[in-house]
Chain A
Amino acid sequence: DAGVIQSPRHEVTEMGQEVTLRCKPISGHDYLFWYRQTMMRGLELLIYFNNNVPIDDSGMPEDRFSAKMPNASFSTLKIQPSEPRDSAVYFCASSLARPGVSPYNEQFFGPGTRLTVL
């Protein structure tokens, strides 16, 4: 299995530009999570989906952030317009949460996208 795939790995953009981060979860996983990691705030959840449906987006900082999961194998996190304070590493993770199925409840993380907004 290829694991969770994220693209791009690095993104440098200018303030005001639209940024789209992409994630392909592990095939068969029914949960998908977007996390952000910064020095100031550590690792924090932005939003998560179950069976492609957004369950909790209370961590999304503001309306500039939006996330979609059009199908079980693809999700996007969009920032429009981007600001320097959005600079961070964005992780996507997926998990399989069905009792009796291993590895139950373990979240597998992608390599992250390092976003720099100038």
Chain B
Amino acid sequence: AQKVTQAQTEISVVEKEDVTLDCVYETRDTTYYLFWYKQPPSGELVFLIRRNSFDEQNEISGRYSWNFQKSTSSFNFTITASQVVDSAVYFCALSINAGNMLTFGGGTRLMVKP
């Protein structure tokens, strides 16, 4: 069985601070996919990134960056120079097969204060 743990249930930062959201996963499969989704107050789920288990390269997209470390089964997400619009619940998720179901973590609520 798969499991995703987001130990931080809630984080509060002041605008322009950097913040890292932690994600730890468990799976016995050697091929898997990791995801981050954003859920703003409006409620929709917005895809942010997908990572394959065989690609450990870190990724940067604007103010967002992701650190994938198989050795510690972690896929952490960092927002640099946070903004109020970053306030949302962020979910880390795991899929063991292409197109297969997502197992979600419990989510981290990020509040960015002006």
Asked whether, in the complex, the Cβ of A105 is within 8 Å of the Cβ of B95, the reply is yes
Question: In the complex, what distance in Å separates the CA atom of A94 from the CA atom of B10?
Answer: 29
A45 / chain B contacts, CB cutoff of 8 Å: 101-103
Beta-carbon contact of A50 and B107 below 8 Å: no
Q: Is A14 an interface residue (CB 8 A)?
A: no
Contacts of A106 in B (CB 8 A): 35, 47, 50
Which A residues are in CB contact (< 8 Å) with B50? 103, 105-106
Most chain A CB within 10 A, of B45, B95, B107, is at B45
| Distance A33 CA – B100 CA, assembled complex (angstroms) | 9
Q: Does A112 contact B (CB under 8 A)?
A: yes
State the main secondary structure of chain A at its contact with B.
Answer: strand
Min CB distance A57 to B, Å, is 11
What chain A residues lie within 8 Å of B44 (beta carbons)? 109-112
* Distance of A106 Cα from B104 Cα, bound (Å): 14
Chain A interface size band reads 20 to 34
Name the interface size band of chain B: 20 to 34
A30 in the interface (beta carbon within 8 A)? yes
A116 on the B face (CB < 8 A): no
A48 to B101, alpha carbons, bound, how many Å? 7
Whose C-beta in chain A lies nearest to the C-beta of B104? A43
Question: Which residues on the B side are within 8 Å of A105 (C-beta)?
Answer: 33, 50, 95, 98-99
Chain A positions within 8 Å of B37 at CB level: 109
**A31 x B99 contact (CB < 8 A):** yes
Closest residue of chain B to A95 (Cβ to Cβ) is B99
- Asked if A42 meets B107 with Cβ closer than 8 Å, knowing A105-B33, A105-B95, A111-B43, the reply is yes
6 A-B pairs whose Cβ atoms sit less than 8 Å apart in the complex: A43-B102, A48-B100, A56-B101, A89-B43, A104-B98, A105-B95
Interface residues of chain A, those whose CB is within 8 Å of chain B, are 30-31, 33, 35, 42-45, 48, 50, 56, 89, 91, 93, 95-97, 99, 103-112, 114
